[in-house]
Structure 1
Amino acid sequence: MDALEAAVTVLREEGKPLHWTRIQDLALRRGYLDPFETPDVRKELLAALARGVREGRLVKVATGVYRLA
């Protein structure tokens, strides 16, 4: 699962906007992201969240806070 899919899955499961640090924490705990496969999880996730906003899959509601579109 790539970082964007992991973020979308976490946001769908939680059903509310979340800060990117919480998305990262939940994705790691639930095994959606593997820190051994992705050397810089933070960088990968932030890039994926920005891509999700550009693609219209996510909405940035505040600094660092995202929800599903």
Structure 2
Amino acid sequence: MKRAHIMGIEGVGMSALARLLLAEGVGITGCDLAPGARAQALGVPVFPGHDPGHLGEEEVLVVPTPVPLD
């Protein structure tokens, strides 16, 4: 996997996953309904809200359980 987009990246679990993937050399983007300091500290592009338009060349979309699939 070379690129992943993580929804809900501001959350404790998703931000930890992002850190692990970054350490493995995976390019990360993310989105969250309320981006904040945790997401900003990752140093990756983070978009407000959840929108298919946020996706680019990511190979993997990580969707946490609280985010509805629709």
- Between Structure 1 and Structure 2, which shows a larger proportion of strand residues? 2
TM-score, normalised to structure 2, is 0.31
- Between Structure 1 and Structure 2, which shows a larger proportion of helix residues? 1
TM-score, normalised to structure 1, is 0.31
